[in-house]
Copies of this chain bind each other. A is one copy, B any other.
Amino acid sequence: MGHTIDDPHPDDRAAIDLLASAVDGQRSALARLLSMVERGGPSARAAARAAAARTSVDGYTVGITGAPGAGKSTLTGALVGAMRADGVEVGVLAVDPSSPFTGGAILGDRVRMTDHALDHGVFIRSMATRGHLGGLGVATPGAVRVLHAAGRRWVLIETVGVGQVEVDIAGAADTTVVVVNPGWGDAVQANKAGLLEIADVFVINKADRPGADDTRRDLESMLDLTEERDWRPPVIATVATVGTGSRELWEAIGAHRSHITASGELQRRRADRARDELGRVIAERLRLQADRLRDGDDFHTIESQVVSGMLDPWTAADRLLGEDLQ
Contact = CB atoms under 8 A, between A and B. Distances in A.
A166 to B, nearest CB: 5
A104 interface: yes
Interface in A281-304: 281-290, 293, 303
A44 interface: yes
A325 B290 contact: no
A290 B279 contact: yes
A62 interface: no
A164 B162 contact: no
Nearest to A129: B164
Interface stretch (A22-30, A187-195, A202-210): A187-195
Contact of A287 (B41, B221, B286): B286
A105 to B, nearest CB: 10
Nearest to A286: B286
A163 interface: yes
A270 B309 CA distance: 10
B325 A288 contact: yes
Interface residues of A, number: 80
A252 interface: no
B193 A326 contact: no
Copies in the complex: 2
Given A192-B104, A193-B98, A289-B286, A48 B313 contact: yes
Interface in A106-129: 106-107, 109, 129
A273 B167 CA distance: 26
A281 B68 contact: no
Given A68-B193, A69-B185, A277-B306, 19 more contacts: A2-B318, A44-B314, A67-B67, A97-B162, A98-B193, A107-B188, A133-B137, A136-B164, A160-B163, A162-B162, A163-B163, A163-B166, A165-B165, A271-B307, A275-B303, A278-B317, A285-B314, A285-B318, A286-B289
Interface of A: 1-3, 9, 41-42, 44-45, 48-49, 51-52, 67-69, 97-98, 104, 106-107, 109, 129-130, 133-134, 136-137, 145, 160, 162-166, 168, 185, 188-189, 191-194, 221-222, 270-271, 274-275, 277-290, 293, 303, 306-307, 309, 311-318, 320-321, 324-326
20 contacts: A2-B325, A45-B318, A48-B312, A48-B314, A52-B311, A67-B68, A97-B162, A97-B193, A133-B134, A133-B165, A133-B280, A163-B164, A164-B166, A165-B165, A271-B307, A274-B306, A275-B306, A278-B306, A282-B293, A282-B320
